[in-house]
Structure 1
Amino acid sequence: MIDAIELTRELIRRPSITPADAGAMEVVEQTLTGLGFACRRMKFGEIENLYARYGTESPNLCFAGHTDVVPVGDASAWSRGAFDAQVVDGVLVGRGAVDMKSAIAAFAAAADAAIAAGQISGSLSFLITGDEEGAAIEGTKMVVEALDIEDEVISHCVVGEPTSSEVFGDMIKVGRRGSINAEITVTGVQGHVAYPHRAANPVPVLLRLLLRLQARQLDEGYPEFQPSNLEITQIDVPNTATNVIPGTARARLNIRFNPNHTGAELARWIDAEAQAEAHGFQGTVAVVPQISGEAFLTEPGPFTDLVAAAVHDAAGRSPELSTSGGTSDARFIRALCPVVELGLVGKTMHQVDERAPVAEILQLQAVYERLIARYFATFGPESGRNFPSPP
C-alpha cells in the first residue's frame, strides 16, 4: 500500500520549481503505473504533464493537481532545507508540503485503497501538470484542450489545492472569481518642464484614467460570490530627471470578477475608458489585456453534497462551500466537467518553512478515500445515472 507521507517526501525532494520538473512527474507516473493506471505523458513546450486513467468505463472521477512549486526565496531563512522533506515534531517541512505535493500523494494512496477494495465501478483518473505556479499556458489548459479534442470523458473532478482556511476541512471551493490583468501605456511627447507647450505630459492622462476606472463600482456581488474589485498594481514613469516632462507613463491593474462580468466585457470597458481619456491628447493610450480565467460556479447538488459528506465522515466538519481566493487550474477543467477543490490548510503555502502536519495529510487521505467510495456509490452504474460513454 502507498505511504502518503513517504510519497510526499519523495516528491518534495524533487526541486520542481516552475518550469523545471526535476523528476517529480516520473515519481507520479511510476506510482500510478504500479497501481494499474494507463499513463500518458503530455509535454507541451518545456512543461511536463501527465494524464493517467484506471478503467475505461463511465463515470470517470478525476483528481487534478500540480507538481511544480514556487521558488524558496531566502534559503537561509528556512529552519530546514526547503527540499530536504524533514519531519520535525510531527510536521513535514518543505516546499510543496501544502501546495500541493501532499494532496497528490494522499489521493494516490486513497486510489490504492479503493482499487484494493474493488470500489472503482467506472474510472479513476489523474490530471497532473507542471505549470500551475507559472504562466499556466502549457499545462492544464493545453491538456484539457487536447482531451476535449479526443472526446475524453471526465465526469467530475477534484482539485487538490489547499482550500481549508483555519482548520482542516472547514472549507472547499466550488467556484472562483475570474481574473483579468491590463497593462496601460500612455505615450506623450517628452520636453523641458519650462516649456510645457512643446510637450505632452502622459502622467496626468494616466492618473485621470486610473481614477475613472477606480471610481466605478463594478457590482454589489453575485450569489455565492463577493463583489468584483479592481486593484492598481503598478505605476511607472521611467524618468530620472527633475526638469524633463516624461514621454511615457505606464500602469498595471487587475480585476477579480464574479459572474456578473466576462473578461472580454471588462477588457472592452477598460479600452473604452482609455480612448475617452485620450480624446484631445497629443499622444496615445494603449491597453493590453490578459484574461487569466473566467468566473465559474459548480452549482450545489449531488456532487458537492458527496464531497462535503466525505469531509464530514473523515474530519467531523461540515465545510463551507466557498468561491473565495485566487485562481487555480479548476478554471480550465470546468470546460470538461463540474469541479471542486479540496485540500489542506493553506496558511503556509508559498511561505518560508512551508509545512503540513503529518496527521492532516493522513486525514486528507481519509477524506479522499471516503470521497471515492461515496462517488461510485452515488454515480456508479448501479445508481442509474447516465453519463456519456467513452468514444
Structure 2
Amino acid sequence: MSEDLSQAAARTASVVELAQELIRHPSRAGIDDYGPVLGVLEDWLAARALPHRRLHDDAGHLVGLLVEIPGGRPGKWWTLDACVDTAPYGDATAWSFPPTSGDVVDGWLLGRGSSDSKLAAAMFCHIAADLHDRAADMHGGLAVLLDVDEHTGSFGGARAYLADRAAARPSGVMIGYPGLDEVVVGGRGLWRATIAVHAPSGHSGSSKTVVGAISRAAHLVRLLDAAELPSVNEAPSFPLPPKLTVTSFHGGQGFSITPDRCDLNVDVRTTPTFDAHDAETLVRKAVAELDAELPAPTPTDITQVTTWPPFRLAENEQPAAALLNAAAEIGITVKAKTAGPSNIGNLLAGEGIPTTAGFGVPYEGLHSIDERAHLAELPQVYAIYQRALLGLLQAG
C-alpha cells in the first residue's frame, strides 16, 4: 500500500464516525432545521482549530458552512464542495433500516445522506484538517463548502459563497457526489418554464361546444413531444443530445366545469449547440402553433423559471486533470463523463468556474429507499482527492 493510501486508511474510521453523526441528524431539504447538522460540523472543526463560518442568503437564512485554509504562499484557491442537506425519505416504512441509521453493516454505511453527500462532507473536512497542518507550504488556499440548500434546487450555499466578498474566488471546484467509475466533467444545461394555457370556461354538459384549457394544453403537449431536437451527432464534442420533457400538467376541478386555465411545466436540457435561446424559441414556436390552430381569447403565457448553461471540461483542464491523474497514480481506473442531469457545476459554469461534479465511493439508493455508501473504497477516494489538491496547491 502506498504512503498516500496508508495515511488515508488511517483516517477512515474518523471519517466514518463523523459521517455517522451527520446521518443521525436529519437535514431533509425544506423540511428539517439545518442548524443541528451544521452544529455537528462546527463542533468538529472548532475542536481542530479549523477556520470556518456560516453562510446566509439575502433573507438571512442559514444556507451553508465555509471552511477556509489559506496557504503561506500566493496562488490560486481551490474548493471542495459537498451538500449536507438531503433528499426526503419517501415512504420510510419501505426502508429496510431507519433513514437516520448511520450504522455500518457488511461494509455499507446506511442512511439518508450516506452517499449524497454526508460521507463526502466528512471526508473533505478531514482533508482540510490534513492540509491545515501543512498550509505554510501551500500556494493559494483551500476552501470547503458545506451546502445545506442544494436539494431544494436553489443552491443557496453555493450562491452565498460566490456572493461573499470576503471569500477568495475559486479557480476550480470539485464536488463530492458519489460514484467510483467516473469523474463527472460536464453536464447538460437546462431551460425551464411554466406555461399557462387559457380557454373560455363553460359547463361540461352544455350544448355549446367549448375547447377547454385542458384540451388545448393536451394539444400543446403533443406539439412539444413532436418537436425536432438536434441529435448527438450534430455536436460530437458534447456526448449528449438535448431533451424536452413536460413534467407537470394541472387544470380543472370536479366534473361539471370546463376549466379556463391549465398549467404546464416544461424542462428542456440544453447543450452547447442547443442553448437556452434555442429552447425558448422551440417552445414559443409550439405555443404559436397552438394559438393559431385552436384560438382562444387569451394568448398562452410562457414564464421562464430558470436557466443554466451546459458545461464540459476537457480532460487536460483543471481541476479535472488533477483528479483524473491522481486516480491513475493511485491505481483506480476512471473515465471522464458528461452527466445528463444538471447540478451545481452548471451554476458554477455560468460564473466561469471550472468544476468536476462527481467522484466518490460506490453507492445504492440515491434519492430512493435504503440509501447506502460502500466503505471499502473510501481510502482510495480520500487519497485521490488529497493527492489532486496537493498537486494544485503546490503548483501555485
Q: Which bin holds the TM-score, normalised by the shorter protein?
A: 0.7 to 0.9
Residues 48 and 248 from structure 1, CA distance in 2 versus in 1: closer, same or farther, beyond 3 angstroms?
closer
Q: Are 2:55 and 1:42 aligned?
A: yes
Residues 151 and 48 from structure 1, CA distance in 2 versus in 1: closer, same or farther, beyond 3 angstroms?
closer
Alpha-carbon distance between aligned partners in 2 of 1:151 and 1:95, rounded to the nearest angstrom: 30
* Corresponding residue to 2:227 among 216, 220, 230: 216
* Corresponding residue to 1:9 among 16, 20, 34: 20
What residue identity is the alignment partner of 1:310? Answer: A
Aligned residues: 370
Q: Which moved more, 1:261-270 or 1:41-50?
A: 261-270
Residues 241-286 of structure 1, C-alpha deviation per residue, up to 9 Å, x if partnerless? 2x64332223222111112233344234423432342243333312
Residues 340 and 66 from structure 1, CA distance in 2 versus in 1: closer, same or farther, beyond 3 angstroms?
same
What residue identity is the alignment partner of 1:18? Answer: A
Q: Please state how far the C-alpha of 1:358 moved relative to its aligned partner.
A: 2.0
Alpha-carbon distance between aligned partners in 1 of 2:378 and 2:207, rounded to the nearest angstrom: 64
What residue identity is the alignment partner of 2:268? Answer: I
Report the 3-state secondary structure (helix = DSSP H, G, I; strand = E; otherwise coil) of the residue aligned with 1:214. Answer: helix
Q: Are 2:332 and 1:313 aligned?
A: no
Query: TM-score under structure 2 normalisation?
Result: 0.85
**CA RMSD, 1 decimal:** 2.5
Q: Are 2:184 and 1:173 aligned?
A: yes
Query: What is aligned with 1:271?
Result: 284
What residue identity is the alignment partner of 2:90? Answer: G
Q: Is contact 1:75–1:81 with CA below 8 Å preserved after alignment?
A: yes
Query: What is aligned with 1:297?
Result: 312
Q: Please state how far the C-alpha of 1:69 moved relative to its aligned partner.
A: 0.7
Report the 3-state secondary structure (helix = DSSP H, G, I; strand = E; otherwise coil) of the residue aligned with 1:332. Answer: helix
| Match runs of 1:85-164 below 5 Å | 85-116=102-133, 120-136=138-154, 138-144=156-162, 146-147=163-164, 149=165, 152-162=168-178, 164=179
Report the 3-state secondary structure (helix = DSSP H, G, I; strand = E; otherwise coil) of the residue aligned with 2:114. Answer: coil
Residues 144-167 of structure 1, C-alpha deviation per residue, up to 9 Å, x if partnerless? 2x13x55723122111112x2xxx
Residues 164-200 of structure 1, C-alpha deviation per residue, up to 9 Å, x if partnerless? 2xxx2x1011111112222222121122356564644
Query: What is aligned with 1:383?
Result: none
Q: Is contact 1:183–1:288 with CA below 8 Å preserved after alignment?
A: yes
Residues 85-104 of structure 1, C-alpha deviation per residue, up to 9 Å, x if partnerless? 11112211011100001111
Q: Which moved more, 1:348-357 or 1:217-226?
A: 217-226
Query: TM-score under structure 1 normalisation?
Result: 0.86
Q: Please state how far the C-alpha of 1:66 moved relative to its aligned partner.
A: 1.0
Q: Please state how far the C-alpha of 1:136 moved relative to its aligned partner.
A: 1.3
Alpha-carbon distance between aligned partners in 2 of 1:336 and 1:150, rounded to the nearest angstrom: 19
Q: Please state how far the C-alpha of 1:137 moved relative to its aligned partner.
A: 5.0
What residue identity is the alignment partner of 2:348? Answer: I
Q: Which runs of 5+ in 1 are unaligned?
A: 381-391
Q: Are 2:366 and 1:349 aligned?
A: yes
Query: What is aligned with 1:323?
Result: 338
Query: What is aligned with 1:384?
Result: none
Q: Which runs of 5+ in 2 are unaligned?
A: 1-9
Q: Is contact 1:188–1:247 with CA below 8 Å preserved after alignment?
A: yes
Alpha-carbon distance between aligned partners in 1 of 2:199 and 2:352, rounded to the nearest angstrom: 46
Q: Is contact 1:111–1:369 with CA below 8 Å preserved after alignment?
A: no
What residue identity is the alignment partner of 2:65? Answer: L
Query: What is aligned with 2:5?
Result: none
Identity %: 23
Residues 150 and 376 from structure 1, CA distance in 2 versus in 1: closer, same or farther, beyond 3 angstroms?
closer
Q: Are 2:286 and 1:251 aligned?
A: no
Q: Is contact 1:311–1:317 with CA below 8 Å preserved after alignment?
A: yes
